[in-house]
């Protein structure tokens, strides 16, 4: 850290204006990020269902229709007027630039399965040109066809429509969230620092972080599918961490100036102390975010990248641009005061709280653990699921359209179970289809031989059956009357995969199978992600503290806080509580597993921020010769206000996302806000002082060989 401090002090203008110039230059690409983002990425690209999708595209030239229209004719779908209206709808759809093919009840031979139970509505399936933007096309078709058009009431659903609506809402929510968060954060900074300039510095660092992050997210869109939600993450993390790190640095700089250090020396000490903490904190958060790469979904990998980018830029801005600016402005950091800034005291609220806790550690530990355990118990009955159209508000037009499919049609025609079999004979197909068609919830089984219903073959020909054989592969479509992306859909997929058969190769895919494989991708890889997080955190905390016990204590407390947060989220989003506060959202009886993993990883990483903020000041006092109790009391006194402010900044930054119309953004915002506030209060203010009191001198123990490693690496304090 010393070489960096020497460079920044000697070349302050180059460090500051060079950094700003690079950020401004990056905006050439960064401002284009929104048009390249994806609303998908929830599937496992290496799974069995992904292989089936690939076979459908490459061998059968078939995609799952990106857009599904339901046309309510207001009369029998077989009425001549309905037929004429259907021709108008088809012609209008085919005229839309970017639409590749349109099929419907009428073009597929009028099968009863494509007609609603009341006989008044029917399906239109739209496949899009692969070169067009699916979300944009979804919005275009939504706007042009939704409502009373062409003699029918038309509802537009499907993946493209969902993605289009999500992207549109996310862009609006981003502006709304920042409109809420920025004024609150600015007021908080002014309250903490007392002057406009000092308060503006952390906000300036946050803005640099966010703007620079957009460039790297934009770059990633050229190499991999990048989730539209990654923009929200870099905004929340950039604002929160950028301000947190700057807050720590500015606070330490002002402390050193109050001790009569000259400006250059104050900057140097700030970088060697607070700067070291920022570096380790950022490195810890970054390595924790890497854990998201253990999961196969590009949705989660996008967040791993977004987290790495935001954290790295926040650290870089706090260690390069901010010290350079402080060196240049010197005592002008206190210009435009709004009220008198009170110098830090060694005795105050936080030291008194620490002494109160350390006099009665066992009762504090018991009560705190019971409270956190009660919160964690709320998640005991959690059922993991994945998102579908119902992440949108219940009154959204896509949700209303998809509800038409759920309520008025016996089977989910737009998302059947797709089974691929190799080198199949007619006898094998017949035997298999007869058995499957007799199972519960199966509306029909469609094969090259015809439709099987309740064990009976109904021979049919026509367009519907023209694409069920291709080379060595035979396609069998199973239409069920259950929601494919649900626990019932998962059970059906697993049942079909276990179905006895004599095929040489047998693969089960489709929407329900993709849902199942995504869940398996998360649960199967979760142990590796946890192992990485625990190992990386223990190593970094040891290198930071030189203690064997403190890193173990930190990890265990973080998991306790994390389980309490996850229990709270299950209570809210699976059980449907707090709608009066968060606004209406759909409850499906499950909680989105990808979002839960995301909240857990981000919250764990951010919690380590406050652990490092606190331990750095405690260890500093201990290294100066104070005993454990005095070190804890003085360390908490000097960091408690900063930790609380930092937690509030992050809470404001992410809580603003709880106002989103997309339920997984509500979960991300509420979950992280709750986690950081819980961590900064119950964990850091109560449990850390209580446990460190009990551990006494053991807090600072480490085997000589571990200390030798720390010294050799050059990371001892």
Cβ-proximal residues to 665 (8 Å cutoff; 6+ apart), any chain: 170, 173, 229, 232, 657, 658
Q: In which band, very low, low, confident or very high, does the pLDDT at 300 lie, cut at 50, 70 and 90?
A: confident
pLDDT of residue 466: 54
Domains, the chain, in order of start with CATH, read 1-31+170-343 (1.20.1640.10), 66-157 (3.30.70), 345-377+547-701 (1.20.1640.10), 404-516 (3.30.70)
Q: Is residue 108 a contact partner of residue 463, using CB atoms and an 8 Å limit?
A: yes
pLDDT digits (tens, 9 = 90+) for 470-521: 778 899 989 888 878 788 888 999 999 999 988 989 999 988 898 899 889 9
Please determine, for residue 705, whether its predicted confidence score (pLDDT) is greater than 80: no
Mean pLDDT (the chain, rounded): 86
Q: Region 197-220: what's the mean pLDDT?
A: 88
For residues 600-617, average pLDDT: 85
Give the model's confidence band at 715: pLDDT under 50 very low, under 70 low, under 90 confident, else very high.
low
The encoded tokens of residue 702 equal 């480490």
Q: Please enumerate in sequence order all residues whose Cβ is within 8 A of that of 565, keeping only pairs 6 or more positions apart, or say none.
A: 375, 599, 600, 603, 671, 674, 675, 678
Select, from the ranges 161-165, 241-245, 272-276, 524-528, the one with the highest average predicted confidence (pLDDT): 524-528
Per the structure block, which two tokens stand in for 625? 């010769």
The DSSP bridge pattern shows strands 591-592 and 384-385 to be parallel
pLDDT for 184 equals 83
Considering only CA atoms, which of 414, 487, 479 is closest in space to residue 441?
Answer: 479
How confident is residue 311, by pLDDT bands cut at 50, 70 and 90?
very high
Residue that wins the pLDDT comparison between 389 and 569: 569
Choose the weakest-confidence range: 88-92, 192-196, 557-561.
Answer: 192-196
Summarised one tens digit per residue, pLDDT across range 440-467 is 888 888 888 888 888 888 876 554 555 6
pLDDT of residue 555: 92
Average pLDDT over residues 261-287: 89
Split at pLDDT 50, 70, 90, the class of 343 is low
User: CA-CA distance, 85 to 97, in Å (whole number)?
Assistant: 21
Which of 26-40, 160-174, 683-697 is predicted least confidently?
26-40
| C-alpha to C-alpha distance for 131 and 414, rounded to whole angstroms | 22
What pLDDT was estimated at residue 406?
84
Q: By three-state DSSP, how is residue 453 classified?
A: strand
Give 597-646 as a 3 state SS string.
Answer: HHHHHHHHHHHHHHHHHHHHHHHHHHHCCCCHHHHHHHHHHHHHHHHHHH
* Span 679-702, average pLDDT: 89
Say which residue, 121 or 111, is predicted with more confidence.
121
CA separation for the pair 683, 368 (Å, rounded): 8
Q: How far apart are the first and last CA of the chain?
A: 11
**What residues are paired with 122 via a beta bridge?**
71, 115
One DSSP character per residue, 233-289 reads HHHHHHHHHHHHHHHHHHHHHHHHHHTT--HHHHHHHHHHHHHHHHHHHHHHHHHHH
Query: How many whole angstroms separate alpha carbon 462 and alpha carbon 181?
Result: 58
Buried (b) or exposed (e) across 390-427, using 16+ Cβ within 10 A?
bbbbeebbbbbbbbbbeebbebbbbbbbbbbbeebeee
Reply yes or no on whether the pLDDT at 280 is more than 80.
yes
Dihedrals φ, ψ of 656, to 5°? Answer: -60, -30
| C-alpha to C-alpha distance for 686 and 359, rounded to whole angstroms | 12
pLDDT at 297 over 90: no
Whether residue 412 has pLDDT greater than 80: no
CB atoms within 10 A of CB 714: 7
Buried b (16+ CB within 10 A) or exposed e, 149-162: ebbbbbbbbbbbbb
CA 318 to chain centre: 25
Looking at mean pLDDT, say which of 118-122, 195-199, 438-442 comes out highest: 118-122
- How much of the chain is helix, strand and coil, in % rounded to 5? 65, 10, 25
By percentage, how much of the chain surpasses pLDDT 90? 32
Do 326 and 333 contact (CB within 8 A), yes or no? yes
Q: What is the pLDDT of residues 27-54, one digit of tens each?
A: 888 777 766 676 667 788 889 999 998 8
Q: Which SS3 state, helix, strand or coil, does residue 443 take?
A: strand
pLDDT at 417 over 70: yes
Count other Cβ atoms within 10 Å, centred on residue 114.
23
Is the predicted pLDDT of residue 716 greater than 60, yes or no?
A: no
């Amino acid at each position: 850290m010393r070489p960096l401090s020497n460079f920044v002090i000697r070349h302050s203008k180059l460090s500051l204006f060079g950094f700003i110039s690079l950020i401004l230059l990056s905006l050439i690409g960064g401002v284009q990020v929104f048009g390249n983002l994806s609303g998908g990425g929830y599937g496992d690209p290496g799974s069995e269902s992904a292989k089936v999708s690939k076979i459908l595209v490459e061998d059968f030239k078939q995609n799952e229709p990106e857009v599904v229209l339901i046309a309510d004719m207001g009369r029998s779908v077989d009425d001549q007027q309905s037929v004429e209206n259907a021709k108008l709808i088809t012609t209008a759809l085919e005229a839309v630039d970017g639409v590749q093919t349109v099929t419907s009840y009428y073009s597929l031979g009028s099968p009863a399965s494509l007609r609603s139970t009341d006989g008044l509505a029917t399906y239109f399936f739209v496949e899009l040109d692969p070169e067009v933007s699916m979300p944009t096309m979804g919005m275009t078709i939504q706007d042009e066809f939704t409502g009373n058009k062409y003699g029918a009431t038309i509802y537009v659903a499907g993946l493209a429509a969902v993605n289009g609506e999500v992207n549109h809402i996310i862009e609006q929510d981003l502006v709304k969230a920042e409109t809420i968060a920025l004024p609150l954060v600015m007021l908080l900074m002014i309250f903490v620092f007392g002057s406009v300039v000092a308060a503006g510095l952390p906000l300036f660092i946050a803005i640099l972080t966010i703007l620079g992050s957009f460039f790297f997210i934009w770059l990633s869109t050229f190499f991999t599918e990048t989730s539209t939600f990654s923009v929200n993450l870099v905004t929340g993390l950039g604002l929160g961490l950028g301000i947190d790190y700057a807050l720590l640095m500015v606070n330490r700089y002002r402390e050193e100036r109050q001790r009569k250090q000259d400006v250059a020396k104050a900057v140097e000490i700030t970088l060697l102390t607070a700067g070291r903490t920022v570096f380790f904190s950022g490195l810890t958060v970054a390595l924790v975010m890497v854990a998201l790469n253990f999961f196969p979904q590009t949705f989660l990998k996008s967040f791993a990248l977004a987290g790495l980018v935001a954290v790295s830029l926040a650290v870089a801005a706090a260690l390069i641009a901010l010290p350079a600016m402080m060196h240049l402005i010197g005592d002008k950091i206190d210009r435009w005061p709004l009220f008198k800034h009170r110098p830090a005291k060694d005795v105050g609220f936080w030291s008194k709280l620490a002494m109160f806790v350390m006099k009665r550690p066992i009762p504090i530990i018991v009560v705190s653990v019971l409270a956190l355990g009660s919160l964690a118990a709320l998640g005991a009955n959690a059922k993991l699921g994945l998102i579908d159209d119902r992440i949108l508000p219940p009154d959204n037009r896509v949700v209303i359209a998809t509800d038409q499919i759920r309520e008025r049609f016996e089977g989910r025609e737009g998302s059947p179970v797709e089974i691929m079999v190799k080198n199949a004979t007619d006898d094998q197909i017949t035997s298999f289809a007869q058995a499957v068609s007799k199972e519960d919830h199966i509306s029909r089984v469609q094969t090259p031989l015809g439709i099987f219903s309740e064990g009976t073959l109904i021979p049919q020909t026509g367009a519907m059956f023209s694409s069920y054989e291709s080379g060595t592969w035979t396609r069998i479509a199973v239409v069920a009357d259950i929601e494919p992306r649900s626990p019932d859909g998962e059970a059906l997929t697993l049942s079909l995969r276990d179905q006895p058969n004599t095929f040489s190769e047998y693969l089960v895919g489709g929407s329900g199978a993709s849902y199942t494989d995504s869940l398996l991708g998360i649960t199967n890889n979760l142990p590796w992600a946890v192992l990485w997080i625990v190992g990386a955190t223990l190593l970094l905390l040891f290198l930071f503290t030189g203690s064997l016990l403190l890193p173990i204590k930190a990890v265990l407390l973080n998991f306790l806080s994390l389980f309490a947060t996850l229990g709270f989220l299950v209570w809210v989003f699976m059980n449907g509580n707090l709608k009066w506060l968060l606004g209406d959202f759909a409850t499906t009886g499950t909680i989105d597993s990808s979002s839960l993993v995301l909240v857990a990883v981000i919250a764990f990483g951010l919690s380590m921020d406050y652990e490092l903020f606190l331990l750095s000041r405690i260890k500093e006092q201990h290294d100066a010769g104070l005993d454990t109790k005095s070190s804890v009391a003085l360390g908490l006194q000097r960091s408690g206000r900063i930790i609380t402010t930092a937690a509030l900044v992050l809470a404001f930054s992410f809580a603003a996302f709880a106002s989103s119309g997309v339920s997984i953004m509500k979960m991300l915002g509420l979950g992280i806000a709750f986690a950081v506030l819980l961590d900064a209060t119950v964990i850091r203010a109560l449990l850390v002082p209580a446990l460190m009191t009990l551990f006494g001198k053991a807090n600072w123990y480490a085997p000589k060989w571990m200390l030798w490693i720390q010294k050799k690496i050059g990371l001892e304090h």
